[in-house]
Structure 1
Amino acid sequence: MGHKTLCEWRRHEIPFELKALRKIVKKPKFVCGKCARSANDKQYLCQPLRLKEKDD
């Protein structure tokens, strides 16, 4: 799917891209400030915010 943000994914694309989606959301480090989706790399989110560890 290239480097589309998760916000740009269309609902009908998700079932066909589950393998890629699993990799993107595994062990998330960022959350989108616009839509609250999460990802392990900020490139997949339109307004990425770093998730903090419990100790922070």
Structure 2
Amino acid sequence: MAKCKPLCALKKDDVKSMMKKLIKIVSKPTFICEKCARVANDEDYLCHGIALKTKKEKK
């Protein structure tokens, strides 16, 4: 997937024009932003992304 700016930097018009791509980015998230709490499937889409813990890691 092509690089885009962090989700927190998107403006309302960006969201409207990128809706299909955004759905792919936030589907099955594996990262969460420590700063803004947005989620994505790639850390590059977040300003301060950290990996979400999987069920196996929660022990």
TM-score, normalization by structure 2 = 0.84
Aligned CA-pair RMSD: 1.5
Q: Which residue of 2 aligns with 1:52?
A: 53
Q: Which residue of 2 aligns with 1:11?
A: 12
CA distance, structure 2, for counterparts of residue 2 and residue 53 of structure 1 = 25
Q: Which runs of 5+ in 2 are unaligned?
A: none
Structure number, greater radius of gyration = 2
CA distance, structure 1, for counterparts of residue 3 and residue 50 of structure 2 = 21
- What is the percentage of aligned positions where both structures have the same residue? 45
**Pairing 1:29–2:23 present:** no
Runs of 4+ in 1 over 2 A off after TM superposition: none
Q: C-alpha deviations, 1:1-54, integer Å up to 9, x for none?
A: 842000110022212210110111111000000000000000000000100112
**Pairing 1:41–2:42 present:** yes
TM-score, normalization by structure 1 = 0.88
CA distance, structure 2, for counterparts of residue 2 and residue 9 of structure 1 = 13
Letter in 1 for 2:19: L
